[in-house]
Structure 1
Amino acid sequence: MTPKQKQRAIIVVALVVITLAAIGLLIYASRSELNYYYSPIEVKEGKAPLERSIRIGGLVAPGSIVKSTETIDIAFDIMDGKDRVRVTYDKMLPDLFREGQGVIATGILTDLNNFTATEILAKHDETYMPPEVKESLEKSGIVIDENSRHPGSQP
């Protein structure tokens, strides 16, 4: 191997090492930015991490919505048929938000019963339900009626 070939080989190896290190650092840094999805039953079982950004989803429990009279703050329960998690939110709600509708909330779980949301996503039409919510509801035994205006009834 000539000195020039040796120098090129060293440069190529160095570039590969630097590229792999950069990719590794990006993957490591993005881990903290991922929002994993949990159902209320998984939250109650302790599978969801506390004080870290996550998403929870389910149906807005009937009769659980409590609106502040002085601010736009709201509290409500997300349920999956077996368990409930109390959600607090201090921003404007989506227009389609109402009792019995599927929602996904992004935020921080403060304990196994309370979730502080930074974003609320409601289903966008009468027949759509987020796949994660639908799957967790079906696992907990709730039948999803695709033709109903208000999905979710006990078998």
Structure 2
Amino acid sequence: MNPRRKKRLLFASVLIGGVAAIASLLLYALNSNLDLFFTPTEVVHGRDDTGLMPEVGQRIRVGGMVVEGTVERDSNSLKIAFDIADNGPAITVLYDGMLPDLFREGQGIVAQGTLVEPTVLEASEVLAKHDENYMPPEVAEAMGQSHSALEYSETQSGY
């Protein structure tokens, strides 16, 4: 092989290796910043369509309704614990910080944080809906069928 071809082959090899290294570092960085959305039922039982189940220690987002009567506040700090559920099992959310003004029981919320136990989320951020007609898109999609079935049964019963 002549020296010019060796030089081109070496250049092409280094270029391909560099692009592969950059792509792998980029994918690693994106994966570590990715927060998947789950409903409380999916946290407990896993996703039916993909079989994906969140692991303890994983950062996730969970959306659902705050269960009535489960809000427990610490009188000496900003710590709060409450349960959220969709149409299945509930999970407990632990949060230390200021809650949104619109947070209340029966309210639709999205909590972002780390799963510390299979049914306990330590939240770093809690978001609440802004008016009566709004629901976060992920929660609306996840609860869509059960919510419309509930509205249908309420209209049939006359409420």
Q: Deviations along 1:65-104, whole A, 9 cap, x unmatched?
A: 1111111111111110222111110011112212222111
**How far off is 1:119 after superposition?**
0.8
Report the 3-state secondary structure (helix = DSSP H, G, I; strand = E; otherwise coil) of the residue aligned with 1:51: coil
> Would you identify which runs of 4 or more consecutive aligned residues in structure 1 move more than 6 Å?
none
Say whether residues 1:52 and 2:58 are aligned partners.
Answer: yes
d(CA) in 1 for partners of 2:110, 2:72: 18
Aligned length: 147
Report the 3-state secondary structure (helix = DSSP H, G, I; strand = E; otherwise coil) of the residue aligned with 1:143: helix
**How far off is 1:52 after superposition?**
1.3
Match of 2:104 among 76, 98, 112: 98
Q: Which runs of 5+ in 2 are unaligned?
A: 47-52, 154-159
Say whether residues 1:19 and 2:19 are aligned partners.
Answer: yes
Contact 2:114 2:122 in 1 (8 A): yes
Contact 2:57 2:116 in 1 (8 A): yes
Aligned to 1:149: none
Superposed CA RMSD in Å reads: 2.4
Contact 2:38 2:62 in 1 (8 A): yes
d(CA) in 1 for partners of 2:66, 2:151: 13
Q: What amino acid is the match of 2:83?
A: D
Q: What amino acid is the match of 1:56?
A: V
**How far off is 1:24 after superposition?**
1.4
Say whether residues 1:142 and 2:151 are aligned partners.
Answer: no
* Bigger Cα displacement from structure 2, 84-93 vs 31-40: 31-40
Q: What amino acid is the match of 1:143?
A: S
Match of 2:85 among 79, 90, 115: 79
Identity percentage of aligned residues: 41
Aligned to 2:50: none
Aligned to 1:120: 126
Q: Which runs of 5+ in 1 are unaligned?
A: 145-151
Report the 3-state secondary structure (helix = DSSP H, G, I; strand = E; otherwise coil) of the residue aligned with 2:30: helix
TM-score of the superposition, structure 1-length normalised?
Answer: 0.81
d(CA) in 1 for partners of 2:99, 2:58: 22
Which structure is higher in helix share?
2
